[in-house]
Amino acid sequence: DPYENEPARHKVLKINGSKPFCAEPSSPLLVESFITPVDFFYVRNHLPVPKIDLKNYTLELAIEGTTIKTLDFKALTTKYEKTTITAAVMCGGNRRSEMSKVKNLKGVSWNVGAVGNATWTGIRLCDVLKDLGISEDKFNHVQFEGYDLDPSGMPYATSIPISKAMDPRADVILAYEMNGKPLSRDHGFPIRVIVPGVVGARNVKWLSKIVVSKEESQSQWQQGDYKGFSPSTTWDNVDFSKSPAIQEMPVISAICDPQNSDVVKVKNGKIQVKGYAWSGGGRKVIRIDVTNDQGKTWHTADLIEDLQAKQGRYWSWTLWNVELPVDKRSKEVEIWAKAVDSSYNVQPESFNNIYNIRGLLCNAYHKIKIKTQH
């Protein structure tokens, strides 16, 4: 069994798939703290977790087909300056279970918990690339490979544009610590890439190799997955070569507490509603609007944000809470939330017109129904 060496996992994680392991925390737990504890951070593996001995760990650096150098853990962590960022990582399929109500689709059925916010400590990818003496103009992509292998021996692999990889302000990190502790096995021990503002899939765990190239990664995960399509595209007519790979993510939010169909106690005519919001590309969430009357009246939520983030480099999520006034006679309340980011991008109102066969980019308004107790 290739899965016989899997790490132990916290029992609060709700398992969406066991081999490979995919799991998320409940949504009320998710918004209890601005920094997500490692044990509660969602896990999205595509393959068995590799067993890596730190003593034998190496990272290979290559330009196209040629290996330029191989560095061990000590060399990597002593040679380059240590840096820490706070960034959310979100799966491209987060909130897929809601989109699947429009029409059948393929993918792990995530609720709203395929996201977490952590501090990541490591070295800057741009420093490592600078040492290779490459010019940004001669290449287009930086590919990452993991130590996790599919049955044919191919590693998990993806790539990002070289402009993102080499930009010191893009904060791409080869991380060896999460929340101040060495990475756990599920989250990429001993080193993973953190590409802030970019879809989770590019944040390669168990990093084995970096390749500077003219080409994107040719892996399934770059070429045949993690792409968006028209709602009318079907599995019979889809052409993956026609859509670009997802990189920066669109603005999204979710109501986390209460959860759909909860019974909520009304206090002084109000209920407390909490959630998160996030946008890709370093765009900060500037406002969350919440309604309980289908948009006749919108209430602006209070925000809990990363106050240290620099303009245009807001990588964290934003937590929010709002007190919603509810009618004395109401038995059931429908709540909607939507976020606005610093480019004034807004979420689409429904999933109908953003449906896609892989269930990615599921960022429509979050809508839940609760029962009230007066």
Q: Which residues bind ligand MTE (CB under 6 A)?
A: 41-47, 89, 91, 146, 148, 156, 186-187, 200-201, 203-206
Number of neighbours of residue 215 by Cβ within 10 angstroms: 13
Q: Which is nearer to ligand MTE, 91 or 362 (CB)?
A: 91
* Strand-strand pairing, 173-178 and 181-182: antiparallel
Which option in ligand MTE, Mo ion, none does residue 205 bind, with CB closer than 5 to 8 A by kind?
A: ligand MTE
Token look-up 């590409």 returns: 195
Q: Which candidate, 246, 247, 264, places its Cα nearest to that of 255?
A: 264
Residue 322 CB, nearest distance to ligand MTE (Å)? 28
CB of 92 to ligand MTE, least distance (A): 7
Q: Which is nearer to Mo ion, 246 or 277 (CB)?
A: 246
Residue 190 touches which of Mo ion, ligand MTE, none (CB < 5 to 8 A by kind)? Answer: none
The stretch among 42-50, 77-85, 138-146, 148-156 that binds Mo ion (CB under 5 A) is 42-50
Instruction: Assign 251 to helix, strand or coil.
Output: coil
Which does residue 187 touch among ligand MTE, Mo ion, none (CB within 5 to 8 A, set by kind)?
ligand MTE
Shortest distance, position 104 Cβ to Mo ion, whole Å = 20
Task: Find the helix or strand (DSSP H, E) in which 171 lies.
Answer: none
Least distance to ligand MTE, CB of residue 128, Å: 18
Amino acid 320 reads: W
Q: Which is nearer to ligand MTE, 77 or 217 (CB)?
A: 217
- Strand pairing of 318-325 and 302-304? antiparallel
Query: Smaller CB distance to ligand MTE: residue 249 or 340?
Result: 249
**Residue from 43, 91, 212, 255 in contact with Mo ion (CB under 5 A):** 91
Cβ distance to Mo ion smaller for residue 24 or 257: 24
Phi, psi of 70 (to 5 degrees): -130, 125
Q: Which does 203 bind (CB under 5 to 8 A by kind): ligand MTE, Mo ion, none?
A: ligand MTE
Q: Can you tell me which of 200, 258, 275, 359 binds Mo ion, judged by CB under 5 A?
A: 200
Among residues 225 and 306, whose Cβ is nearest to ligand MTE? 225
Q: Which helix (H) or strand (E) holds 155?
A: strand 155-161
Minimum gap (Å) between residue 271 Cβ and ligand MTE = 31
Size of the site for Mo ion (CB under 5 A): 4
Q: CB-wise, 166 or 195, nearer to ligand MTE? A: 195
Q: Within 10 Å of residue 304's Cβ, how many Cβ atoms?
A: 17
**Which DSSP symbol is given to 267?**
B
Closest to Mo ion by CB, 50 or 200 = 200
Q: How far is the CB of 48 from ligand MTE (least distance, A)?
A: 10
Give min distance, CB of 27 to ligand MTE, in A.
16
Give strand pairing partners of 21: 18
Sign for the CA dihedral angle at 62, 68, 72, 77 comes to negative
Among 22, 25, 44, 254, binds Mo ion (CB under 5 A): 44
Based on the number of CB atoms within 10 Å of its own CB, is 135 exposed (0-12), middle (13-18) or buried (19 or more)?
exposed
Between the alpha carbon of residue 34 and those of residues 87, 185, 266, 288, the distances in Å are: 11, 23, 26, 17
Q: Is 95 in the site for Mo ion (CB under 5 A)?
A: no
Residue 30 CB, shortest distance to Mo ion, in Å, is 16
Q: Show the tokens assigned to 177.
A: 């610590």
Instruction: Kindly list the distances between the CA atom of residue 256 and the CA atoms of 111, 112, 155, 260, in Å, as whole numbers in the listed order.
Output: 10, 8, 35, 9
Q: Are the beta carbons of 277 and 339 closer than 8 angstroms?
A: yes
Taking the least distance from each CB to Mo ion, the nearer of 91 and 166 is 91
Interacting partner of 335 out of Mo ion, ligand MTE, none (Cβ under 5 to 8 A depending on kind): none
Strands 263-265 and 366-373 turn out to be parallel
User: What region, left, alpha or beta, does residue 173 occupy, with left being phi > 0 and alpha being psi -120 to 50 degrees?
Assistant: beta
Residues that bind Mo ion (CB under 5 A): 44, 91, 200-201
